[in-house]
A and B are shown apart, each in its own frame.
Chain A
Amino acid sequence: MIPDSLKNSLDGAIPSMIVSVDENDMPNVTIVSQVFYVDENHVAISNQFLSKTIRNLTATKRAAIQLIDPIEIFMWILQVEFIREEKEGSLFDDMNMQLEAIASMTGMQDVFKLKSAFVCRVHSVEKLPKA
């Protein structure tokens, strides 16, 4: 499902956008610093303090993610479904390490803690033509 050419956009070079909806179809848009590659059918987002997004994903499962290719600067739109939360394991450790490294550069390592990894199945990948 996730093509090789999309992986560059999952390195977190450019922040991504997540659109989720609540039970009443009220949309919410958030910027996240990185959407993580899990395997060819899954990505993960970090649960730190994206309270609204996390709440929406837990309630309605669905979200759309906009990624930007850091070299060619074009967009990808992913339709995803939240399937599970991970609080330990290698995915959690890798994501936690990234967060810890950046936070410690500003002395905020005690504030920025990863609560869990939200693993989402990718339902569709759409590459938008360059503007």
Chain B
Amino acid sequence: MQSDSDSIKQHISENETIIQKLNEQLERRTNEIKIIQSISDEIINSLDPESIFNRSMQLLDEVFGFHHSHILLKKENEDVLYVVACHGYENSGLGAEVKYGEGILGTVARHKKIMRVSGIQSKLRIVKMMTADESKSESKKLPGLPKVDSQMVIPLVVDQRLIGVYSVESEDIGAFKAIDELILKLVGSQIATAIENAMLFKKQERLVEAYRRFVPEELHEMLGKESILDIKRGDQVQGEYTILFSDIRGFTSISEQMTPQQNFDFINEYLGFIVPAIKKNGGFVDKYIGDAIMAIFPNKPADAVRAAREMTKNLAEFNRVIQSRSENFTQIKSGIGIHTGTIMAGIIGADERFEGTVISDAVNIASRLESLTKEMSCAIIASDAVVRTLSAEERGNCSELGDVNVKGKKNSVRIYKLDD
């Protein structure tokens, strides 16, 4: 009886030890999962690729002791990886390339499967030992520790597409165990998604940026739309705006002496000098028509007048710069017409091609005033609608040129020459 009860007691105590051990294990696992969860949360919430790279490598070092790590991304349209970030190395090796199939990194990329390799140095020695032809076994310099012995590499895969690889390595023998592989696998899929999202976001930002250059943001604002995504055909707005028209005089004859490439270079350089004055004074370019610029000033007509004077000044600077480069360059002159009136701005188009545009008599008048600058041999002409809103200071040296008729307009328009 005594021995039976002793053996039961021993069993119970053994069981308790086992249960305690299991509980400890469970607690450790729970902690690990919590850490992985918090790493994932932090990484997945970032849209900046650089900070995803650096933060994930830093966290994996702090928490799991992965002291040396690399992130490589796949080049577009090429089976080549390149180093985008690294952690724990003296020499960064950023930009270093690895072809698919080269070393552990390249092998993981090719097979899209996680790999944990131990005893790399002894395995290399065995390979070399078995290779009769020593000259062939020339090691290629790949990014990483010179005497790496343990390495884990995980493919970063989104929708079965490889976007890169994540590598951790150590010079210690047997540094990574099966549990480390599991951790890296769990965090890796989060990192892959985070990188992909951040890359897409970056691309999206570039697209929006590019788009803005074609359709001005101010036009969305005039239409009361927050983004281009909200704009649809038929959206329109009507209001009192000032139109500025600017054109290079006799550009056709200048243009004939240049190659197409020279033409574009010339116009772009010219616009580079002239256009900043528009934005600076509260306007925006509605469209370019060859060398001509049509700009809208949604606020005060005085903004357009200020812009026009600054554009004339900038043109003088442009002439000076070009002349210093080529002596036989004849200085160019431009004319500017300004008119304020009721305009309708909106989105027109059919099928695939839409455009923001302005429909108004005011546009025709501004354009007509611009063409009159040549006859009147002056740089800036503004209509009465503009001039009567200007303060004495804003008018400056302003003289009346009389009334002119504009095609399609019943009443004539009184015009003024503004000093430049």
Interface residues of A (CB under 8 A from B): 7-8, 11-15, 31, 33-34, 49, 70-71, 93-94, 97-98, 100-109, 111-112
Q: Give the residue name and chain of the A residue nearest to B107 (CB).
A: A101
Set of chain B residues within 8 Å of A111, measured between Cβ atoms: 131, 136
Q: Which of B102, B130, B136 is in CB contact (< 8 Å) with A49? A: B130
Is B122 touching A15 in the complex (CB atoms < 8 A)?
yes
Set of chain B residues within 8 Å of A104, measured between Cβ atoms: 101-103, 106-107
How far, in angstroms, from A14 to B127 measured CA to CA in the complex? 14
Report A65 CB to chain B, min CB distance, Å.
Answer: 16
Report A36 CB to chain B, min CB distance, Å.
Answer: 12
Set of chain B residues within 8 Å of A97, measured between Cβ atoms: 107-108, 111, 113, 115
Q: Which of A13, A105, A106 is in CB contact (< 8 Å) with B118? A: A13
Q: Give the residue name and chain of the B residue nearest to A9 (CB).
A: B174
Q: Which 3 A-B pairs have the closest CB atoms?
A: A70-B174, A13-B174, A13-B118
Q: Which of A7, A15, A93, A108 is in CB contact (< 8 Å) with B178? A: A7
Q: Which of B103, B116, B127 is in CB contact (< 8 Å) with A11? A: B116
How far, in angstroms, from A107 to B137 measured CA to CA in the complex? 6
Decide: A33 near B136, CB < 8 A? Known: A12-B118, A13-B118: no
Interface residues of B in 109-160 (CB under 8 A from A): 111, 113, 115-120, 122-124, 126-128, 130-131, 136-140, 142, 149-150
- Please name 16 further chain A to chain B contacts, defined as beta carbons within 8 Å, in addition to the given A102-B124, A112-B127, sorted by A numbering: A8-B177, A11-B177, A13-B149, A14-B174, A15-B122, A34-B123, A97-B108, A102-B104, A104-B106, A105-B103, A105-B120, A106-B124, A106-B137, A107-B139, A107-B140, A108-B137
Is B118 touching A11 in the complex (CB atoms < 8 A)?
yes
How far, in angstroms, from A65 to B269 measured CA to CA in the complex? 78
- Secondary structure type dominating chain B contacts: mixed
Q: Which of B101, B102, B131 is in CB contact (< 8 Å) with A108? A: B131
B376 contacts A by Cβ under 8 Å: no
B12 contacts A by Cβ under 8 Å: no
Q: List 25 A-B contacts (CB under 8 A).
A: A8-B177, A11-B116, A11-B118, A11-B119, A12-B117, A12-B123, A13-B119, A14-B122, A14-B174, A34-B123, A70-B173, A70-B174, A97-B108, A97-B113, A101-B115, A101-B117, A102-B117, A104-B103, A104-B107, A106-B127, A106-B137, A107-B140, A109-B101, A111-B131, A111-B136
